[in-house]
Amino acid sequence: MWGSHDDAAFALACKYPKLRLIVQELPKVAANSKVEAGLNGEFMAHDFFKSSLSRMLTFTSTVVSSINWSDPYCLKILKALAPALKQGSRVLVMDVVMPPPCVLPYSIERKSRAMDVTMLEVYNAKERVLNESKSLFEQANPESAFQGMQQPPGSNLAILEVAWEG
């Protein structure tokens, strides 16, 4: 799993104590992160733009991987992950998925669109609509199969699931 100090990973570790989690993060972040006592997990320094894993992953979660990254970098991250994945592995991405225009109440829509502009200004990135995220998966691996999206009530983050084939 990737994603800063990874509260999501350790929420899973609390719910499923037999699950062993490895949180891979950039070296500076990993060095300043600590696993909560009693949880079966560890932080590992990893440059997620480079592949360094053997084909060992059945499941991976790239948590909030695309929030601060433009499309070329997201593709690089996904392509670097590919050598570690077995056929049929699942990739989960927790990210903001922009709804189509004029679906949300105006006050929420305005904040969402403002965040999109902020992402462009600060990171040269953007908030993606669902089809843009699907396109990134397909570009990274044309044989990948989008499985679906779940958005927990009250969360601005959605979970996208992709089966990694080939």
Q: What is the pLDDT of residues 38-54, one digit of tens each?
A: 777 778 788 878 876 65
Stretch 98-111: mean pLDDT: 90
Which pLDDT score is estimated for 64? 45
Are the beta carbons of 23 and 42 closer than 8 angstroms? yes
Q: What confidence category does residue 92 fall into, taking pLDDT thresholds of 50, 70 and 90?
A: confident
Sorted by sequence, the CB contacts under 8 Å of residue 148 that are 6+ apart come out as 160, 161
User: Is the model more confident about 120 or about 51?
Assistant: 120
Give the residue-averaged pLDDT of 15-36: 79
For tokens 């903001």, name the residue.
96
- The pLDDT of residue 53: 61
How many CB atoms are closer than 10 A to CB 8? 20
Q: At residue 99, does pLDDT exceed 80?
A: yes
Percent of the chain topping pLDDT 70: 86
Distance CA 99, CA 101 (A): 6
pLDDT at 7: 67
CATH number of 47-96+127-164: 3.40.50.150
Looking at residue 60, its pLDDT comes to 61
pTM for the predicted model, two decimal places: 0.77
Q: Give the pLDDT band of residue 77 (cuts 50, 70, 90).
A: confident
Whole-angstrom distance, CA of residue 130 vs CA of residue 150: 11
Nearest to 51 by CA among 23, 79, 90: 79
Mean pLDDT of the chain: 81
Read off the pLDDT band of 69 (50, 70, 90).
confident
Position 110 pLDDT exceeds 60: yes
Q: Would the pLDDT of 133 be above 60?
A: yes
Query: Which range among 11-25, 50-64, 135-149 has the greatest average pLDDT?
Result: 135-149
